[in-house]
Amino acid sequence: MANNYHANKQPGVIRSLDWWTVGIYLSLLVFGWVSVCGASYTYGDTDIFSLGTRSGMQVIWIGTSICLGFVLLMMDDRLYDTFAYVIYGLLVLLLFATIFNPHSIKGSRSWIVLGPLRLQPAEFAKFATALAISKFMSSYGFTIHNWKHFATACGIILLPMICIVGQSETGSALVYLSFFLMFYREGMPGSILFTGIAMIVYFVVGVKYEGLMLWNTPTSVGKFFVLLLVQLFSIGMVWIYTQNKDKAPKMLAFVLVVTLSALLFSEFVIPFDVVWVQLVLSAGIIGYLVYNSLTSFFSNYLFIALFTIGSIAFFYSADYVLNDVMQPHQRVRINVLLGLEEDLAGAGYNVHQSEIAIGSGGLRGKGFLNGTQTKLNFVPEQDTDFIFCTVGEEEGFLGSAAVLFLFLALILRLMYVAERQPFKFGRVYGYCVAGIFLFHVFINVGMVLGLTPVIGIPLPFFSYGGSSLWGFTLLLFIFLRIDAGRNLIRQ
């Protein structure tokens, strides 16, 4: 038996390394450097490898990243498990200290300036948080269905988020929401994930159509449909999560009949705001759910009631925060995203110019260093947050599709490798890494296309700079080393 066990083991890290992932990583580095060249090149430059140019400096960052990856592979993978909490603690302290950093760059205090070198601790805190959460969730006795355990795990994620928000880096803090993909894989109820999606739907529908009136009534379309969605979602959860299937159809029929009657009365008899009727209906649903919870001793009714209350509270509080708490420039960004304002000379300028650049690339693009929008610097931050527009302009639809395919291949490969881990620590960490990459790619490409908010996060391996490149390399190669360790003979 022992002989068969050792026969399946391999003696070296290099031989057991997942070379498919390494190949994708190197391909993305090459594509990224080409894109930095295209984004930072100006007519008349003679040496794109000069250290005085961004393309030349990116070569340094790429070279040091590859060296960093090699060093990580040479370390014992058990060190990442052993020192996970120590690494996390040090990074959180550094994040906290950075809040009081006297150097402010573009309104953010998230950078540590060491002479010519600038580092952003938030980029390194991601791998530290992933290690800490993996360590905690793989500990003996942990179960995600225990609310205390789940709350502690969320606290591990929330702590660096608070520090990063204190640095005025809200975009980087939102990246930590990607850990919920890992939570879902590890058994988090789908209702929690659904609640998050529902909140986004409430916000978009409510804000976008708040000023539009329904028919000839003084009823806001946004508020009407949000409250109707809350009621329908609650009834759907009664159908799915409770034992009595007869209640949901009756509740649905009652809600639809009362809502339609109120609408017809407001339209043809006496105009009034039907939202008040919906609020009364929602209160009735909440009371009915609480009553069933008390009489049947079935806690799911109470959880659905809390969902209904939380949904209504979220919608009205979000409306208040948007209109009365947020700064004007923040409100304008959201309005531009939702199509309520254009502001092509202000908040919508970056997105508008990036859309022009991508659209001008056509099918095959204008060719390397031949983009006009980027060469004439029409797109701000075109070699960092908006670098994907350079891909679209110079490489066209085909090049953009190839880049997205590589990212998709990387994320799917990470999930595949995570599933083959013999220990929970490796699987949890792998899904953390996959979730972080997925969030970065989805939000960054989406904001360049005008589909997601402009929150200022880099595109992995593409955006110019050492902090993000080193941070993503740390994330990836620690996981590769953990995966390689599954096939090593332990002394």
368-383: pLDDT as tens digits: 877 777 766 777 777 8
* φ, ψ (nearest 5 deg) of residue 339: 80, 15
Residue 341 confidence (pLDDT): 64
Residue 6 confidence (pLDDT): 45
Residue 425 confidence (pLDDT): 95
**Average pLDDT of the residues of the chain:** 87
Do 351 and 333 form a contact (C-beta atoms < 8 A)?
no
Q: How many CA atoms lie within 13 A of 148 on its CB side?
A: 2
Hey, what amino acid is at 247?
A: K
Burial of 21 (0-12, 13-18, 19+ CB in 10 A): buried
Whole-prediction pTM: 0.85
**Reduced to 3 states, what is the DSSP secondary structure of residue 465?**
coil
Tokens of 84: 């996970």
Residue 450 confidence (pLDDT): 80
* DSSP-assigned states of every residue in 170-208: HHHHHGGGGHHHHHHHTT--HHHHHHHHHHHHHHHHHHH
Residue 110 confidence (pLDDT): 78
- Residues 104-138 have pLDDT tens digits of 666 667 778 776 677 889 999 999 999 999 999 99
Output the CA torsion sign for 364, 365, 367, 368: negative
- Residues 213-242 have pLDDT tens digits of 988 889 999 999 999 999 999 999 999 888
> Which residue stretches of the chain have pLDDT < 50?
1-7
